């Protein structure tokens, strides 16, 4: 048999086997058998070098034609086979590519933190620095330096968590932060707000928690008056609750301020909850405040004959409850996503 005859037979056999291969694996096996490194077709093509010189060209051309036509047929069949197996796969494992994707649920900032930041930002715009101070305090700073010596009856206003170390407690309010700020800045003027967590040994109800937030504020400088306090609080309340809001000031008592006041804002009558919230008065308490007591100024390192100051303290969670009609303070700690996701 001549080389040409052998080539023709090889072509026939390869074409027949290609025809018989019906899945992708069989097709690839066919490809290896004829066109792999040790494949029969490649071996046949290499024969060209053993032929007499005058036959080489024709054999080479013929060989390449056979190779090209077989490979083209192979590629076509492989493509058809792949498509068919994809369709079969899709039919077996139906997938609706037109379905909308699953949206990712993004987390968010806790509503209490957001309102806290809003309050900080309003005061920052008015030139207040934002300070943090310690939650584990000493008795001196939480009470004594705020004008409440041991056994002072006003201490009863704050039911206290004491630690096993005598004189060390969880702060019952952010007011001791005033002392830290004063000691750092005296005798210079200062404007600061102090947001942070406070603790009280109280029964937990819808309105009070043993752990809650406060924001303290203080301003000290020459000629600071009650009018400055009033203006600052009014500007703050209007930015937080709306430009038309009115504030009302009532006299009160705190050991660390003289005079002491409590501040109310008017509640819009349109709000269906207004009557319940304000107990029919139309007013809601938002903070305690006053002119810093001379003794407290002195304890912080200031001379009350040279400077004066005002201070205020409020519960941002209470304010959040007002702003968003939340009626149970315990929601803040529950981490119930149905509650948190509303805001
Ligand atoms: N510390 C007070 C409390 O927890 C709130 C307060 C009242 C803070 C008057 C002040 C203030 O700075 O001047 O009830």
Cis ω on the peptide bond leading into residue 311 (within 30° of 0)? Answer: no
CA 303 from chain center: how many Å? 44
pLDDT at 267: 86
Nearest to 190 by CA among 218, 231, 164, 158: 218
Q: Is residue 97 in a domain?
A: no
| pLDDT over threshold 80, residue 277 | no
Q: Is residue 164 in a domain?
A: yes
Structural domains in the chain (count): 2
Q: Is residue 106 in a domain?
A: no
Distance CA 169, CA 92 (A): 68
Reported confidence tier of residue 67, pLDDT bands at 50, 70, 90:
very high
Nearest-CA residue for ligand 1 atom 3 is 173
Cross-strand pairs, 194:
216
51: helix, strand or coil: coil
Please name the helix (run of DSSP H) or strand (run of DSSP E) that holds residue 292, with its range, or none.
Answer: strand 283-292
Distance from residue 296's CA to the centre of ligand 1 (Å): 13
Q: Averaged over 321-328, what is the pLDDT?
A: 83
pLDDT digits 0-9 by tens, 210-238: 999 999 999 999 999 999 999 999 999 99
Nearest-CA residue for ligand 1 atom 12 is 312
Given 3-state DSSP classes, what are the helix, strand and coil percentages for the chain, each rounded to the nearest 5?
A: 45, 20, 35
Q: Is residue 38 in a domain?
A: yes
pLDDT digits 0-9 by tens, 115-161: 999 999 999 999 999 999 999 999 999 999 999 999 888 888 889 99
| pLDDT over threshold 90, residue 3 | no
Distance CA 292, CA 280 (A): 32
Lowest-pLDDT choice from 160-164, 204-208, 244-248: 204-208
Q: Is residue 291 in a domain?
A: yes
Supply the DSSP symbol for 200.
Answer: -
Q: Is residue 148 in a domain?
A: yes
Please name the helix (run of DSSP H) or strand (run of DSSP E) that holds residue 108, with its range, or none.
Answer: none
Residue whose token pair is 């009626």: 327
CA distances from 80 to 11, 27, 87, 133 (A): 22, 11, 11, 73
Q: Are residues 57 and 185 in the same domain?
A: no
Q: Are residues 86 and 124 in the same domain?
A: no
Reported confidence tier of residue 106, pLDDT bands at 50, 70, 90:
confident
| pLDDT over threshold 80, residue 288 | yes
Q: Averaged over 233-262, what is the pLDDT?
A: 95
Question: Which ligand 1 atom lies nearest to the CA of residue 292?
Answer: 13
Distance CA 170, CA 158 (A): 11
User: Which of 62, 92, 122 represents a domain boundary (last residue)?
Assistant: 92
Q: Is residue 170 in a domain?
A: yes
pLDDT digits 0-9 by tens, 154-193: 888 889 999 999 999 999 999 999 999 999 999 999 999 9
Nearest to 44 by CA among 78, 17, 12: 12
* 150 or 274, greater pLDDT: 150
Q: Are residues 71 and 190 in the same domain?
A: no
Q: Are residues 88 and 233 in the same domain?
A: no
Q: Is residue 104 in a domain?
A: no
Question: Residue 7 belongs to what domain range?
Answer: 3-92
Q: Are residues 82 and 126 in the same domain?
A: no
Q: Are residues 152 and 206 in the same domain?
A: yes
Distance from residue 62's CA to the centre of ligand 1 (Å): 102
Q: Which two tokens stand for residue 128?
A: 């207040």
Q: Are residues 303 and 170 in the same domain?
A: yes
Q: Are residues 147 and 182 in the same domain?
A: yes
pLDDT at 238: 94
Q: Averaged over 25-46, what is the pLDDT?
A: 91
- Residues touching ligand 1 (Cβ under 6 Å) are 173, 175, 216, 254, 257, 288-290, 311-313
Q: Are residues 176 and 267 in the same domain?
A: yes
Q: Which two tokens stand for residue 54?
A: 């005058």
Distance from residue 254's CA to the centre of ligand 1 (Å): 7
Contact between residue 58 and residue 66 where contact means Cβ atoms under 8 Å apart: no
pLDDT digits 0-9 by tens, 260-269: 999 999 988 8
Distance CA 193, CA 215 (A): 7
Phi/psi region, residue 63 (left: phi>0; alpha: psi -120 to 50; beta: rest), is alpha
Nearest-CA residue for ligand 1 atom 5 is 313
Residues in the chain: 343
Q: Are residues 216 and 283 in the same domain?
A: yes
Q: Are residues 164 and 66 in the same domain?
A: no
| CATH number of the domain to which 128 belongs | 3.30.930.10
In whole numbers, what is the pLDDT of the chain averaged over residues? 92
| CB contact set of 196 (below 8 Å; sequence gap of 6+) | 132, 133, 135, 174, 177, 213, 214, 215, 216
Distance from residue 321's CA to the centre of ligand 1 (Å): 19
Q: Are residues 175 and 78 in the same domain?
A: no
Contact between residue 297 and residue 182 where contact means Cβ atoms under 8 Å apart: yes
């Amino acid at each position: 048999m001549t080389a040409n005859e052998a080539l023709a037979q090889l072509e026939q056999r390869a074409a027949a086997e290609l025809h018989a291969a019906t899945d992708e694996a069989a097709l690839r096996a066919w490809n290896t058998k004829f066109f792999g490194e040790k494949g029969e077709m490649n071996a046949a093509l290499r024969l060209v070098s053993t032929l007499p010189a005058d036959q080489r060209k024709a054999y080479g051309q013929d060989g390449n034609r056979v190779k090209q036509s077989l490979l083209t047929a192979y590629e076509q069949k492989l493509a058809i086979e792949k498509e068919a197996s994809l369709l079969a796969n899709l039919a077996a494992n139906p997938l609706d590519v037109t379905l909308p994707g699953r949206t990712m649920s993004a987390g968010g900032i806790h509503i209490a933190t957001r309102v806290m930041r809003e309050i900080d930002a309003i005061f920052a715009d008015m030139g207040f620095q934002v300070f943090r101070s310690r939650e584990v305090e000493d008795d001196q700073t939480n009470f004594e330096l705020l004008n409440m010596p041991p056994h002072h009856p006003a201490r009863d206003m704050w039911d206290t968590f004491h630690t096993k170390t005598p004189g060390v407690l969880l702060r019952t309010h952010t007011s001791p932060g005033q002392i830290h700020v004063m000691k750092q800045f005296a005798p210079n003027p200062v404007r600061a707000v102090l947001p942070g967590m406070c603790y009280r040994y109280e029964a937990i109800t819808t309105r009070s928690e043993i752990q809650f937030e406060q924001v303290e504020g203080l301003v000290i400088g020459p000629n600071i008056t009650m009018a400055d306090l009033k203006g600052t609080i009014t500007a703050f309340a209007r930015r937080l609750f709306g430009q038309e809001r009115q504030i009302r000031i009532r006299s009160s008592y705190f050991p660390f301020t003289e005079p002491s006041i409590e501040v109310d804002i008017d509640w819009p009558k349109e709000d269906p909850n207004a009557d319940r919230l304000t107990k029919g008065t139309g007013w809601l308490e938002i903070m305690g405040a006053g002119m810093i007591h001379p003794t407290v100024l002195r304890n912080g390192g200031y001379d009350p004959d040279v400077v004066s100051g005002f201070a205020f303290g409020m519960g941002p969670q209470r304010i959040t409850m007002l702003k968003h009609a939340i009626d149970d303070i315990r929601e803040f700690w529950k981490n119930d996503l149905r509650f948190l996701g509303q805001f």
